[in-house]
Structure 1
């Protein structure tokens, strides 16, 4: 009933340790060039979104619509 809980333990290994530092410096150039080439291939293949209005245009349209509604209501009442 009065037993203390033990702390949780984890098997944490740091990502950038001294052991991996030597290995990463050798392959750094090839990995970065590989990453850049993959990124350029994917950047060109993004689907284009057409017909989507910008937020500023949409807000301007809504404000103009509210002004027109107010003026028409005032004119016919």
Structure 2
């Protein structure tokens, strides 16, 4: 019901660099592949933030609050 959007990923490669393209192309490819694989591996683990409530819990609390308000209004009218 509440699907989270995925973050956009970009494969940025600078057009101009100070080093020559031929010397650094093999080094850059291996380094970027290692970095990308490590990033994807670590991004799969979810980090729980302390004190944060999920959207489902917040909606459940809101529905309970509305029901209580309705019942109290009926009782005192």
Classify the TM-score, shorter chain: 0.3 to 0.5
| Between structures 1 and 2, the one with greater helix share | 1
Tell me the TM-score normalised to structure 2 length: 0.47
Bigger radius of gyration: 1
